[in-house]
């Protein structure tokens, strides 16, 4: 179903080791409004969505996995040269004690990812409005992350991700209109 090309959707560059920023980025890695939760939410919802818009959920879900890969790369690059003391100072000491430099699905406060983040009502409009809200929350988080770093290379990748969240929200809004139009269409049997 997929062809994996060993390159990121968008280049990820960082100018310096910044463990504090890496910790903040874990919000988009394993937080409630992060890329993993979004990818799984959309992939799960596609089974109860009308065929006319199933492709939107499938396409955006798979792109969210690409974004998850970008976030993981950012975190890795920001921490790969960090000392234990730097990790501890940024609040990542417990993660190091359990996993060394390995990534773990958790938010920036260290709370593990949970399937409770995956919303699915089974009603196409309710689910799509949930998806629009999720994309807008992710967009806001990316903006705040951009504001929290002076690394212009990192900001570049974060700006790309922020813009993709805007596009995803627009695509979900289009899907809402398609479903509404279909609901208004009179069927004669």
Known catalytic membership, residue 64 = yes
> Which residue among 5, 27, 35, 85 is the active-site one?
35
CA distances from 4 to 1, 8, 46 (A): 10, 10, 22
> Which residue among 165, 174, 177, 184 is the active-site one?
165
Q: Where do runs of H (alpha helix) occur along the chain?
A: 19-30, 35-45, 54-79, 84-89, 93-99, 124-147, 152-184
Known catalytic membership, residue 184 = no
CA distances from 50 to 9, 63, 104, 151 (A): 28, 20, 34, 43
Known catalytic membership, residue 168 = yes
Known catalytic membership, residue 101 = no
Structure tokens at 64: 């969210």
> Which residue among 135, 136, 177, 184 is the active-site one?
135
> Which residue among 27, 63, 64, 101 is the active-site one?
64
> Which residue among 67, 85, 174, 177 is the active-site one?
67
> Which residue among 5, 101, 168, 177 is the active-site one?
168
Known catalytic membership, residue 130 = no
DSSP class of residue 112 equals B
- 3 state SS of 5: coil
Known catalytic membership, residue 67 = yes
Looking at the annotation, which residues are catalytic? 35, 64, 67, 135, 165, 168
């Amino acid at each position: 179903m997929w062809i994996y090309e060993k390159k990121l959707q968008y280049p990820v560059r960082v100018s310096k080791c910044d463990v504090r920023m890496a910790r903040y980025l874990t919000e988009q890695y394993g937080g409630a409004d992060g890329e993993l939760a979004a990818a799984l939410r959309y992939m799960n919802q596609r089974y109860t969505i009308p065929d006319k818009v199933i492709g939107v959920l499938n396409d955006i879900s798979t792109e969210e996995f690409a974004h998850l890969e970008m976030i993981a790369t950012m975190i890795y690059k920001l921490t790969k040269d960090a000392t234990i003391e730097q990790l501890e100072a940024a609040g990542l000491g417990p993660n190091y004690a359990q996993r060394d430099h390995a990534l773990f699905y958790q938010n920036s406060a260290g709370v593990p990812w949970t399937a409770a983040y995956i919303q699915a009502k089974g009603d196409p409009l309710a689910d799509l409005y949930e998806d629009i809200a999720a994309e807008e929350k992710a967009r806001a988080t990316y903006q705040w992350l951009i504001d929290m770093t002076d690394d212009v290379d990192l900001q570049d990748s974060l700006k790309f991700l922020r813009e993709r969240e805007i596009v995803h929200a627009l695509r979900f809004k289009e899907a809402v209109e398609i479903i509404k139009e279909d609901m208004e269409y009179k069927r004669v049997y």
